[in-house]
Chains A and B, each alone.
Chain A
């Protein structure tokens, strides 16, 4: 039974990640159209008029979804990806070529296994914690998966057997290593102020107004939030930090040589990464499922559901925020990127760490 619960938890978390990634895909497509004053995807399914009377009620929903572009971005693109030719360039091994997209997706999904998605609850006599791996070092595990995620990019770039891929991969690896330092120091600052590495305990300690970003509770929280937000944007390799895949110079960067479903896997990984990063921000700074003026009763299943809904709402807000930033800001120059990482963010995060430690001591 224990194993069954664990499997169920893993399955549900996977569905949550896929759902968040799908939502991000749709917002990216339709939201970018909104920002650029276009109409965007609104054709597939929007004109469906079934002959049978029985299908009419379904047709209403299908047409609404079609007009919103949901069918086009989520269903049609996936089917198109599945049926496209799976092209493997000459001179590389098929296995290694497949490993790239796989390694781009796997660490992100694994990192979600330590994020508690709802408060504890009891159901049918079982005490359930909605977290797949109850690690005491959850914060470090997320960092570890972040450092593993570099391999997806590096492998894709190398086994693409293409100069553009390799250049993109080198840029991506350099960028991710550079920003990982500031990321680690910022997370260390948070660990100092929370005094634990357990993500569940971190959320529990942010009851009511005690959100991590509240300056009365955590004086340096706002600075840490800014650092972590910029670093996270860079780690997800999206504009304004999208030099690894800059279309105007490198075709598509590290995934130039990928087509069909493999290419879609890279996108899935990228959107799951956005969702993961939003979830981390919510856990650290915005109290997870905690809301001011809302005391969730403990160990009740509907309270867990409500908490999960609050958590998801916050995550979706940050997903949308990141996508809006991606479609608003232009790309950095390479030296600006490196200067921001090494000369501004890293010293700032060190100062922040020392100040936080001093405040904690007093």
Chain B
């Protein structure tokens, strides 16, 4: 299991680097898909089969297909070879240092629970469903309303643009 984790972790890191370093947007999108699949693989090694399959369906399946769709329709060209400002370097460095500081703080205070590959007994579909519809029902419904609002909003925007043209 540890070997599988290291292989998947390496895959995730390499493909995540690929997302930001590739010049062609569709290559970046492909790398992002590999990253998502790698995360699904890590879920699978933790015996969280439901999370793994949902990760593939929603992120690798639905969202990235839409991203590819947009890239194709907008016909994006290769990214121009821009040199980064010093400002961007500074912002990036500050972000990196903050991230490392926060994660190391988490490690040092041992706020992270060690992985014991026991998610299989907890993260079953029945358990997740039960918790989702009892304890977290408000958050669940709120997320549903939020997504509904986004859908309605996008339709309204699309319709209004069409009406203006006519």
Q: Which residues of A contact B (CB under 8 A)?
A: 96, 99, 135-137, 140-141, 143-148, 150-151, 154-155, 157-158, 166, 169-170, 173-174, 177, 180, 197
Contact: A140 with B26, CB < 8 Å?
no
Q: Does B69 contact A (CB under 8 A)?
A: yes
Q: How extensive is the interface on chain B, given as a class? A: 20 to 34
Residue on B nearest A195 in the bound complex, by CB: B126
Residue on A nearest B47 in the bound complex, by CB: A136
Contact: A143 with B57, CB < 8 Å?
yes
Residue on B nearest A141 in the bound complex, by CB: B53
The CA-CA distance from A324 to B13 in the complex, in Å, is 48
Contact digits for B39-73, partner A, Cβ 8 Å, 1 yes 0 no:
00000000001100110110011100110110011
Contact: A173 with B61, CB < 8 Å?
no
Known: A147-B60, A154-B65. 7 other contacts (CB 8 A): A143-B53, A144-B57, A144-B61, A145-B56, A150-B61, A169-B72, A173-B69
Instruction: Tell me which residues from 12 to 45 in chain B have a Cβ below 8 Å from any Cβ of chain A.
Output: 26-27, 30, 33
CB-CB under 8 A for A136 and B125, given A150-B61, A151-B33:
yes
The CA-CA distance from A140 to B124 in the complex, in Å, is 13
Partner of A136, one of B30, B68, B124: B124
Partner of B56, one of A96, A144, A173, A180: A144
How far, in Å, is B77 (CB) from chain A's closest CB?
Answer: 13
CB-CB under 8 A for A137 and B53, given A154-B72, A158-B26:
yes
CB-CB under 8 A for A148 and B56, given A169-B72, A173-B68:
yes
Chain A hits for B49, CB < 8 A: 135-137, 141
How far, in Å, is A171 (CB) from chain B's closest CB?
Answer: 11
Contact: B65 with A140, CB < 8 Å?
no
Residue on B nearest A197 in the bound complex, by CB: B125
Chain B hits for A180, CB < 8 A: 62
Contact: A140 with B61, CB < 8 Å?
no
Partner of B61, one of A147, A170, A197: A147
Chain A hits for B66, CB < 8 A: 177
Contact: B72 with A147, CB < 8 Å?
no
Contact: B53 with A144, CB < 8 Å?
yes
Residue on B nearest A136 in the bound complex, by CB: B49
How far, in Å, is A90 (CB) from chain B's closest CB?
Answer: 16
Contact: A170 with B125, CB < 8 Å?
no
CB-CB under 8 A for A158 and B61, given A135-B49, A136-B125, A148-B56:
no
Chain B hits for A144, CB < 8 A: 53, 56-57, 60-61
Contact: A147 with B53, CB < 8 Å?
no
The CA-CA distance from A144 to B58 in the complex, in Å, is 8
Residue on B nearest A134 in the bound complex, by CB: B49
